Structure formats: structure tokens, C-alpha cells
Amino acid sequence: MDSYSSLIALQNDVRKGNIDLPQLTRQYISRIDEYKHLNAFVEVFEDEALSRAAEVQVRLRSGKAGKLAGLIIGIKDLICYKDHKVAAGSHILSEYTSIFSSTVVERLIEADAIIIGRLNCDEFAMGGSNENSWFGPVRNFADQTRVSGGSSGGSAVAVQAGLCMATLGTDTGGSVRQPAAFCGVVGLKPTYGRVSRHGIVAYASSFDQVGPITKSIEDAALILEVIAGADEYDSTASTVPVPGYSQLLARGGKKGSLICLRRSIAKGSTRRSAA
């Protein structure tokens, strides 16, 4: 299958007619099924993702698409998505369907991302190996005798194994950064307050942050530009304007750009609205 580590490369190919976005989405769905023994996904939104891909392709080719158009992304199973199940890796919530969408999901949709499914995690995000889920453990794609890291193990393995282009995880004490390191992918925990927590099943509200897991720094920056920012539903979200993180990547090469990105995220989160 065609493999993209850069969203911009995918968007260019879709615009030129070199790739059919619904077909690419089908390929990812087939790969998820092929590697279901990794247990990264707990649910795939197959029909919805394919329909969405067709709509986004039209917008891309007409020049009217959002910043994340064509990004095939999975979300951790404690990020609420209206009319979809969210279980937080627990039997307690295994039949619960969310009645609203989290702010981060709404922003992904507005930016024309394609949400392909929900991803396994330690129960209520309480774990560092993703062995403590009602849905069973997640296996590391590089070596299935090894753990994926956690609690966002499903999110990390999905990117590692090429089951989708990017994912959202949550990080309280390392739950994006640690599994990303275990799986050899990019994982970013934004400074507290940079991204809204509205619609996230909480572990520790004073630490939790949603963060992207990707193949590249460039895609992490693009996703953060979209999901970051003030939110009327979360009084702890920073009111500082969101900078153009992706524009920082032109400075100083890969290493320098990552340092600039980290500094900008921290600087942009030092002032919050009143609680």
C-alpha cells in the first residue's frame, strides 16, 4: 500500500490525482484487519471513514479543504466523539455512547481530518504498558513479545505499524511520550493548558493533556496548530493565541526546529483564562 509519513505529501498527491483518498482509506482499513492481533484498535469506523474520505477528496481538489484534509487519524478510547462509543479501556463503560464530541475531535473534523477509529489504552489511562485494558494488551509491532508502552499504547502502535497516519493520545505522566519512545514514533505532550481537555475522560485533571503521535515532526506541528487554543468549555485552556507551529520548522533543521517548537509551545501556554 502507499505509505505517507507527511500529510503535505499526501495532500499534493490527492490534488494532482495521483492517489484516490477513499482507496487509501480502504488500504488502511485492510491493514488494520491484517494486524488486528496487535490489538491497537478497539473499533474501526469503516463506513464513516470511507464516506468522509470521498467528501474530503472533493474539497482538496477544489482548493477548499481544511488544514488537516486527508489526514487519516485514530483517537484514544477516552476522547469523546458524539454518537460513538468511548470506554476508556474499561468494562464499566464498554456500552457507553458519547452524547457530545470533545473539543479536539470537533477541531479535527472542522479541519477535514478523517477519523478512522478508536484506540486501545490502559483502563482509565492508568498504566504504563497497555497491558491493563478490558480489551486486552497491545502488542509492539517491532517485537510482539514486548509491550507497547502506555497508557496510549494503541495510539503509538497504530502509527508504528502504519495502521493510520497519526493518532491522538493523552499524557498525564508520560502516556504519550513513553509509548511513542517504545514504538519509535513522534509523541508530543503540549504544555498544560495549550489544548482543551473538554470531552476527555479524566485521569488527573490538573495534569492531563491531549497530544499527537505521528511519523514526523511536521505532522505533529500541524495537528497541534489545529487542536490547540482557547475553549469556552475549559476554563484552564490558555487564551494565548496559537502560533504557526509548522512555520517554525524552517528554522535550524530538524533538531533546531524541534527545540523551537518546544519553546513556542511552553511560551504560548503561560497565561490562562480565569478558572
For the question of residue 82 being annotated catalytic, the response is no
**Which of 268, 257, 192, 186 has its CA nearest to residue 223?**
186
Cell of 196: 482543551
Cell of 105: 475531535
For the question of residue 175 being annotated catalytic, the response is yes
3-state helix, strand, coil in the chain (%, to 5): 40, 15, 45
Q: What is the end-to-end Cα distance of the chain in Å, rounded?
A: 48
Peptide bond into 264 cis (omega under 30): no
Catalytic residue among 76, 133, 189, 246: 76
Catalytic residue among 151, 152, 238, 264: 151
Catalytic residue among 175, 196, 246, 257: 175
| Longest distance between any two alpha carbons in the chain, whole Å | 49
Cell of 221: 506541528
For the question of residue 151 being annotated catalytic, the response is yes
Distances from the Cα of 142 to the Cα of 38, 115, 131, 147, 217, angstroms: 10, 25, 17, 10, 21
In eight-state DSSP terms, residue 247 is: G
Instruction: Tally the residues of the chain.
Output: 275
**Which residues are known catalytic residues?**
76, 151, 175
